Amino acid sequence: MWDYTDKVMELFYNPKNQGLLEDDREPGIAVVFGEVGSIACGDALRLHLKIEVNSDKILDSRFQTFGCTSAIASSSALTELIKGLTLDEALKVTNKEIADFLGGLPEAKMHCSVMGQEALEAAIYKYRGIPLAVHEEDEGALVCSCFGISESKIRRVIRENNLTTAEQVTSYVKAGGGCGSCLADIDDLIAAVQRERVVGVQVATGIAATKESQRPLTNVQKIALIQKVLDEEVRPLLIADGGDVELYDVDGDRVQVTLQGACGSCSSSTATLKVAIEAKLQERVNQNLLVEAV
């Protein structure tokens, strides 16, 4: 028997916002749904959103879930969390916030909270006209072929939940829970995220020390800080819009990047570069930086 919190049991027995949303074709209102999982795999969730077009606000949300106690409670929690948020705000809701709303979930059931987060993204991408296939390609290399889980999805869940073992990753996104041949790759990703965290702390410490001594950043510190700003403040926004960016090289004050996915083919990619990336790097790293695509 799983050790569920009272909140999980409350939402399991009396789920809020269960059902579907009909599209009544009200002017200025859009109704859309996103779905993840499959009944054959044991869990499936369809999340419905009612959106006010002008404000991008989620006016209402409902869910239809096929799954266990924690899948139903997580879906219900998600609908409560996102009502009243704009779509951009909703995209920032993490699976950890869903689990926290429930007072926690058993680790082996954390994938239910991840499923909610994915259904939300699927609905918003659908509303924004970003084909799921494009979105999935943008998510990077496939790590777990048994469950179709990409590298970026695994990195994200490690980062957002501070995971330290492959077993935990399996509990959160199922990767590694089939043939097991990807477990070594998952271990490598955990180590890589931990290294990034250490570099981030070193960069933050370096910046504080540099400010104190009024010395300019060294080249190594500058590149590390550019990478950190891209990873933490730029890429999440681009990924949410179906694109992505990678740091290619830094030559003096010239920062070369490659734009990917929707950004690479988008006619407004130059504006994206100037506004979203160059301005952010000038503000956070050095006002002389110039960004160019390669």
Residue numbers at the binding site for ligand FES (CB under 6 A): 144-146, 175-182
Q: What residues pair up with 113 in beta bridges, in sequence order? A: none
Q: Between 102 and 182, name the residue whose CB sits nearer to ligand FES.
A: 182
Which residue reads 């550019």 in tokens?
Answer: 226
| CA angle (52, 242, 183) in 5-degree steps | 120
Q: Give dist(CA 187, CA 192) in Å, integer.
A: 9
Q: Is 263 a catalytic residue?
A: no
Q: Are residues 122 and 32 in contact, defined by beta-carbon separation less than 8 angstroms?
A: no
| CA angle (63, 69, 71) in 5-degree steps | 45
Q: Are residues 150 and 140 in contact, defined by beta-carbon separation less than 8 angstroms?
A: yes
Q: Is 41 a catalytic residue?
A: yes
Smallest separation (angstroms) from ligand FES to the CB of 86: 36
Annotated binding site for Fe cation: 41, 68, 112
Cα–chain-centroid distance for residue 136?
12
Q: Which of 45, 112, 124, 291 is catalytic?
A: 112
Smallest separation (angstroms) from ligand FES to the CB of 146: 3
Smallest separation (angstroms) from ligand FES to the CB of 45: 22
Of 115, 99, 116, the residue nearest 107 (C-alpha): 99
Q: Between 115 and 224, name the residue whose CB sits nearer to ligand FES.
A: 115
Residue 95 tokens read as 């699976």
Smallest separation (angstroms) from ligand FES to the CB of 117: 20
Smallest separation (angstroms) from ligand FES to the CB of 140: 15
Q: Between 53 and 179, name the residue whose CB sits nearer to ligand FES.
A: 179
Which whole-number Å values give the CA distances from 225 to 66, 117, 181, 231, 278, in the listed order?
A: 44, 29, 35, 10, 14
Q: Between 42 and 131, name the residue whose CB sits nearer to ligand FES.
A: 42
Q: Which of 9, 20, 41, 290 is catalytic?
A: 41
Q: Give dist(CA 42, CA 112) in Å, integer.
A: 11
Annotated binding site: 41, 68, 112, 144, 146, 179, 182
3-state secondary structure of 59: strand
Q: Between 19 and 148, name the residue whose CB sits nearer to ligand FES.
A: 148
Annotated binding site for [2Fe-2S] cluster: 144, 146, 179, 182
Q: What residues pair up with 38 in beta bridges, in sequence order? A: 43
Burial (0-12, 13-18, 19+ Cβ within 10 Å), 212? exposed
| Active site residues per annotation | 41, 112
